[in-house]
Chain A
Amino acid sequence: MSIPVLMPALSPTMTEGKLAKWHVKVGDAVKSGQVICEIETDKATMEVEAVDEGVVAQILIEEGAEGVAVNTPICVLAAEGESVADAAKAAPAVATRSEQAPAQATPAPMPAAAVSAPPATAPASEPEWTGKTAHITVREALRDAMAEEMRNDGNIFLMGEEVAQYHGAYKVSQGLLEEFGDKRVIDTPITEHGFAGLGVGAAFGGLKPIVEFMTFNFSMQAMDQIINSAAKTHYMSGGQMTCPIVFRGPNGAASRVGAQHSQCYASWYAHVPGLRVLAPWSAADAKGLLKAAIRDPNPVIFLENEMLYGQSFDVPEDPDFVLPIGKAKIERVGKDVTIVAFSIMVGKALQAAEELAKQGIDAEVINLRSLRPFDTETIVTSIKKTNRLVSVEEGWPFAGIGSELAAQMMEHAFDWLDAPVKRVTGLDVPLPYAANLERMALPQADNIIEAARAVCNR
Chain B
Amino acid sequence: MAKPAVKPKVESLAAKSKSSPKSSGPGDNSISAEELKSFYRSMLLIRRFEERAGQLYGMGLIGGFCHLYIGQEAVVVGMQSTINDKDAIITSYRDHGHMLACGMDPKGVMAELTGRSGGYSRGKGGSMHMFSRDKNFYGGHGIVGAQVPIGTGLAFAHKYNGSRNVSLTYFGDGSANQGQVYEAMNMAALWKLPVVYVIENNRYGMGTSVERASATTELFRHGEAFGIPGVRVDGMDVLAVRAAGEKAVEHARSGAGPYILEMQTYRYRGHSMSDPAKYRTKEEVDKYRTERDPIDHLRKRLLDAGLVDEAALKAVDAELRKIVGDAAEFAQHSPEPDPSELWTDILVGA
Contacts and interface: CB of A to CB of B under 8 A. Distances in A.
A45 B275 CA distance: 9
B114 A201 contact: no
Contacts of A120: 350
A43 B274 CA distance: 9
Contacts of B141: 229
A199 B153 contact: yes
A198 interface: yes
Interface in B118-162: 119-125, 129-133, 138-143, 146, 148-158, 160-161
A297 interface: yes
Most-contacted residue by chain A among B60, B115, B124, B152 (CB, 10 A): B60
B277 A46 contact: yes
A201 B154 contact: yes
B322 to A, nearest CB: 13
Interface string B38-60: 00000000011001101101111
Given A195-B183, A241-B133, A235 B153 contact: no
B153 A197 contact: yes
A233 B139 contact: yes
Most-contacted residue by chain A among B342, B343, B347 (CB, 10 A): B347
A234 B344 CA distance: 10
Contacts of A44: 274-278
B63 A238 contact: no
Interface in A428-443: none
Interface in A159-204: 183, 188-189, 191, 193-204
A149 interface: no
Nearest to A205: B157
A10 to B, nearest CB: 6
Most-contacted residue by chain B among A193, A201, A240, A297 (CB, 10 A): A201
A386 B226 CA distance: 62
Q: How many of chain B's residues touch chain A, expressed as a range?
A: 35 or more
B60 A9 contact: yes
Contacts of A189: 183, 186-187, 190
Nearest to A44: B276
B184 interface: yes
A417 interface: no
Nearest to A15: B60
A200 B154 CA distance: 9
A239 to B, nearest CB: 4
B345 A224 contact: no
B156 A238 contact: no
Contact of A198 (B149, B336, B340): B149
Contacts of A193: 149, 179-180, 183
Nearest to B131: A237
Contacts of A9: 57-60
Contacts of B275: 44, 46
Nearest to B272: A11
Interface in A230-247: 233-242, 244
B153 A201 contact: yes
Contacts of B276: 43-46
Contacts of A204: 138, 150, 153-154, 157
Interface string A211-254: 00000000000001100110001111111111010000000000
A233 B276 CA distance: 31
Interface string B283-294: 000000100000
Contacts of A32: 47-48, 51
B125 A236 contact: yes
A109 B348 CA distance: 22
B196 interface: no
Contact of B336 (A33, A43, A106, A229): A106
A101 B149 contact: no
Nearest to B116: A102
A6 B59 contact: yes
B177 to A, nearest CB: 14
A152 interface: no
Contacts of B186: 189, 191, 194
B70 interface: yes
Nearest to A186: B191
A206 interface: yes
Contacts of A48: 58
Contacts of B347: 234, 274, 276, 298
A118 B60 contact: no
A302 interface: no
Contacts of A242: 348
A195 B187 contact: yes
19 contacts: A11-B274, A32-B51, A43-B274, A46-B275, A48-B58, A70-B59, A100-B332, A191-B183, A194-B152, A194-B182, A196-B149, A197-B149, A197-B150, A200-B149, A207-B156, A224-B143, A233-B129, A240-B131, A274-B347
Interface of A: 6-12, 14, 32-33, 43-46, 48-49, 51, 70-71, 97, 100-103, 106, 109-110, 117-118, 120, 157, 183, 188-189, 191, 193-207, 224-225, 228-229, 233-242, 244, 273-274, 276, 297-298, 373
Interface of B: 47-48, 51-52, 54-55, 57-61, 63-64, 70, 88, 90, 114-116, 119-125, 129-133, 138-143, 146, 148-158, 160-161, 167, 179-180, 182-184, 186-187, 190, 268, 270, 273-278, 289, 332, 336, 339-340, 342-350
Given A118-B343, A191-B183, A197-B150, 4 more contacts: A188-B187, A197-B146, A224-B146, A237-B121
